[in-house]
Amino acid sequence: MASNPLHLSLFELYTAFRSGNMTAEDLTEQAIEQHNTSLGAYKYWQPQDARNAAARTDASFSAGEDHGLLQGIPVSVKDLYNVDGLQTFAGSPVSIPDSLMTQGPVITGLNGQQAVFIGKTHTVEFAYGGLGVNSHWGTPRNPWDSTEHRVPGGSSSGAGVSLQEGTALLALGSDTAGSVRIPASMTGNVGLKTSFGRWSLEGIFPLSPTLDTAGILTRTVADAVFGFAAMDPEHQGRALEFIDQASHCTTGDFVIGRGDSVLWEECDPGIVESVEAALNELSQKGVRMTDARLPEVSAAIELLKAGNVTAAEIYELLSTKMPEWLDMLDPLVSQRILGGASMSATEYLKRRRHINQLQLSANSRFESTDVIVSPTVPITPPRLDDVQQADRYGPLNLMSLRNTCSGNTLGLCALTLPVGLDNAGLPVGLQIMARHGAEEKLLAIALCIEKVIGTSKDRLGTPAIPPLQNIHV
């Protein structure tokens, strides 16, 4: 066993708990000791609650009770998910009314498995942004730059940071245009966006009910496979079987399409090069490559620029049920949300019909290829100082979302995994997209890719996390 249990995979921890070689209390204490206040990952940091939960978990193990694969695993929760007993702010300055938030199946399922909730992580206000900036509560720091405060990606801004910090081994996020994949990519983690409707959105504050999806961030693809199997309703009772099946995928079992040229254009230095290097390694190991395209991507990007339907949906919710929030909005969020007021019902329905047509067309493109790939994020994580003003924030926010937004608009499932560092020494992600409902195939292919090119630690090394502060809690 590794000297540091935090370096073990989720499957290894699953085995260690059940063999008696590890306790949830020991693992949780190790995680708590990693807390670094200078990184600012958490809205709620609750070490004693986590210790109490770990003690209950160990009591269950001692009684011979097995509640699920994630029993005893420290999990961070994006502050968009309602957790009974905790307020939900959704990145806003005031907690969301209890009448609007109930605990949903995702959290209830994790509670049932006796996962250890380690804390709630920061998010962009109402999840409406790709850089991770929050003017109300502060912006978590990207741990890959020790000298300057760079953004960690959003909207699940604290999620990826919690993994690199070591306080969580699985992080819950949500994804409407890239909000799981962008922070995963920018912090050197793996991020899985599930297909729309695969996981319940109940109990998750809605940004866009027609585009929102739940997702997870993990340190490795192997952990993502494990976490997905543990949480996915379709795999209850046969999670270990799926994990085993996914591990049998080989380089000759799938075809990769390179995606449209727009996804590869205007990338910051070192990003395309890192992705190309990974693809070349895969090709040399026998993975077949095609020029399969997704022409619908361009239309998805144009919808992003126009506000898609997201602005109208979040504006309708706030103006109807939380009107006082409209006067408190983060300046970097308010202009886009308030812009939703000007969208007519006719225009909204027109855009929704267009999205439905794009989804049908896009999902038919996977006849000649299993997945389509691209750089996950085309830009280096900006310095926080460079995105504090709306005129500078806007273009960079759009660029951060450009490559990921199509996954949601086109109704696909998608994953990002780390493949290298850009010229600024910041992580680069490879985005992999598959047709709606093909999570099993997506994860199996991603796992095979990871086995060939290595994990984040193999390809990126260790982040330059600032010195730990206030770790004794």
Q: Would you please indicate which residues are annotated as catalytic (active-site) residues?
A: 78, 155, 179
**Which residue shows structure tokens 């206030």?**
470
CA distances from 49 to 74, 83, 117, 263, 265 (A): 12, 13, 8, 44, 47
Asked if 376 and 431 touch (Cβ cutoff 8 Å), the reply is yes
What's the gap between Cα 170 and its chain centre?
10
User: What is the C-alpha separation between 432 and 346, in angstroms, rounded?
Assistant: 34
Going edge to edge, which strands form the sheet with 74-78? 42-45, 116-121, 74-78, 170-175, 213-218, 190-193, 413-421, 427-434, 371-375, 255-257, 288-290
Q: Which residues of 134-172 are buried (b: 16+ CB within 10 A; e: fewer)?
A: bbebebbbbbbbeeebbbbbbbbbbbbbbbbbbbbbbbb
> Which residue type sits at 412?
L
Q: Rounded to 5, what percent of the chain is helix, strand, coil?
A: 45, 15, 40
Round to whole Å and give the CA distance between 32 and 22: 16
